[in-house]
Amino acid sequence: CVISIQSDEKSDCAICALDLISASLRIYIIILNKYSTFLLNLQLHLAKIKKIYYNNKYRNIYERTYIMSRILVTGGTGFIGSHTCVELLKNNFEIVVMDNLSNSKRAAVDRIEKISGKKITFYKTDMCDYDGVTQIFKENSIDAVVHFAGLKAVGESVKMPLEYYTNNIHGTLVLLRVMRENGCKRIVFSSSATVYGMNNVAPYTEDMPTSATNPYGYTKVMIEQILKDCCVADAEMSVVALRYFNPIGAHKSGLIGEDPNGIPNNLVPYIAQVAAGKLEQLSVYGNDYDTPDGTGVRDYIHVEDLASGHVCAIDYAMKNKGFEAVNLGTGKGSSVLEVVAAYEKACGKPINKRIAPRRSGDIATCFADASKAKKLFGWEAKADIDEMCADSWNFTKLNPNGIN
């Protein structure tokens, strides 16, 4: 462990001394894994002392430097996973990425490394492969997991329910079993606003009943239930299920973004391909909904805001036990026509569109009550729809053939 001091401040020296003690504790954690919770708590106390010294000024830098936690990111080369990897690295977490590359490319690893200037450990492993996942835990001391890996296309899940239940649910069960066998008790899970089903009325709050209308949605509802049950069975377990609303946008560098296989199902990737000249026309699915302009309203959230929400969730999971479901959204809805207008502004040309019949299974309005994330994590989404569309277009322009 090397710590360099570039300051005349006495308080800096004191903090470095505490860092040194923390680093030593970390070595003990690796050696004495079974006492990790106790030692981690000790580290938390040291961090509190440092916080008093610094009067919260450098809280983010210091609180995370001392922990030096190693996070396993499943599905880390995918759209949301890759942005979260960048954000975790920025906040001094060490990361190990596991992905079977079924819906992403190996090149995403290079791009994460390019943006962050840091090397990451990557495993091309399927989460359903018990031996493969076990090997990752044996080769790395994992403090927590951020679990993105999963299949996510609603329409495809209706056609291939067995593949969806096997991949998403069996894969998560394998992961949880390996975590238990290796004493890893913290997990942040990618859930979805889809768990609010068709019967709740926006804004959605986390205490509303959950349900689903398709196999993909049921995998999210079921995995949340499995995670709750794990917390009941083991009081040391810490789970945060993040219910994402509609993630869009891309990293400001334009190096990573959404790179779907085939024809996109979701609105913004579809508009992006119309803007890029790859698809001819956007179908607006219905303009007779009970919304201000008749088109569907959704809570679009910038993927970078979403990524920072994961860092908050990991911090929270490090310090708390039990199950929490938390919405990650802006709390504001935008209609399809508003998104089209924002994209036209971003790319500087009109988006060819037509009004089409409603898409089966769609609801009129979906947006979050985002107050729990603010209360629990101090997190709020920052970007507006113009910024989201500008970053999406920047990525599309710079990567005409996706991430290759």
Residue 282 CB, shortest distance to ligand UFG, in Å, is 6
Considering only the stretches 8-16, 32-40, 243-251, 359-367, report the one whose residues sit in contact with ligand NAD under the rule CB under 6 A.
243-251
Strand segments (E) across 155-298 = 186-192, 238-244, 246-248, 282-285, 297-298
Please report, as residue ranges, which positions from 189 to 208 form the binding site for ligand UFG (by CB under 6 A): 192-194
Enumerate residues 6+ apart whose C-beta is below 8 A from 148. Answer: 73, 74, 75, 76, 78, 80, 81, 84, 190
Residue 265 Cβ, how far from ligand UFG at the closest point, in Å? 6
* Cα distance between residue 203 and residue 367, in whole Å: 5
Q: Does 370 bind ligand NAD (CB under 6 A)?
A: no
Facing residues of 285 across strands? 356
Which residue type does 331 have? Answer: G
Active site residue 53: no
Do 134 and 110 contact (CB within 8 A), yes or no? no
Partner interacting with residue 99 (select from ligand UFG, ligand NAD, none; CB below 5-8 Å by kind): ligand NAD
The reply on whether position 368 binds ligand UFG by CB under 6 A is no
Q: Give the pair of three-digit tokens for residue 170.
A: 């069996």
Q: How far is the CB of 172 from ligand NAD (least distance, A)?
A: 9
Of 59-67, 123-131, 232-240, 327-335, the window that binds ligand NAD (rule: CB under 6 A) is 123-131
Answer yes or no whether residue 301 interacts with ligand UFG by CB under 6 A: no
Which of 123, 164, 204, 216 is an active site residue? Answer: 216
Joined together, the tokens standing for residue 184 give 């890893």
What mask of x and - would describe binding to ligand NAD in positions 52 to 91, judged by CB under 6 A? Answer: -----------------------x-xxxxx----------
Which of 359, 384, 397, 402 is in the footprint of ligand UFG by CB under 6 A? 359
Cα–Cα distance list, 68 to 27, 29, 117, 317, 323 (Å): 11, 11, 17, 15, 24
- Of residues 60 and 166, the one with the C-beta less far from ligand NAD: 166
In 3D space, the residue among 114, 100, 113, 104 whose CA is nearest the CA of residue 78 turns out to be: 104
Question: Binding partner of residue 154 among ligand NAD, ligand UFG, none, CB under 5 to 8 Å per kind?
Answer: ligand UFG
Residues numbered 164 to 203 that lie near ligand NAD (CB under 6 A) are: 167, 171, 190, 192
Per CB under 6 A, the list member of 36, 100, 172, 327 interacting with ligand NAD is: 100
Residue closer to ligand NAD by CB (options 85, 184) is 85
Q: Using CB under 6 A, which of 64, 83, 111, 298 touches ligand UFG? A: 298
DSSP string, 155-193: HHHHH-HHHHIIIIIIHHHHHHHHHHHTT--EEEEEEEG
Note whether 149 and 173 are within 8 A (CB). Answer: no
Whole-number minimum distance, CB 135 to ligand UFG, in Å? 31
The backbone region for 286, taken as left when phi is positive above 0, alpha when psi lies in -120 to 50, beta otherwise, is left
Comparison of 257 and 286: residue with beta carbon closer to ligand NAD = 257
* Nearer to ligand UFG among residue 19 and residue 258 (C-beta): 258
Contact status: 215 vs ligand UFG (CB under 6 A): no
Q: How many CA atoms lie within 13 A of 320 on its CB side?
A: 14
> Crossing angle, helix 303-319 and helix 79-90, to 10 degrees?
60
Minimal distance, residue 69 CB to ligand UFG, in Å: 28
Amino acid at 374: K
| Interface residue with ligand NAD, options 64, 152, 251, 310 (CB under 6 A) | 152
| 128/146 Cα distance (integer angstroms) | 16
Eight-class DSSP state of 292: T
241 interacts with ligand UFG by CB under 6 A = no
Contacting residue, 173, 200, 285, 344, with ligand UFG by CB under 6 A: 285
Instruction: Annotate 54-113 with three-state secondary structure.
Output: HCCCCHHHHHHHHHCCEEEEECCCCHHHHHHHHHHHHCCCEEEEEECCCCCCCHHHHHHH
Residues forming the site for ligand NAD (CB under 6 A): 75, 77-81, 99-104, 126-128, 148-152, 167, 171, 190, 192, 244, 246-247
Residues designated catalytic: 216
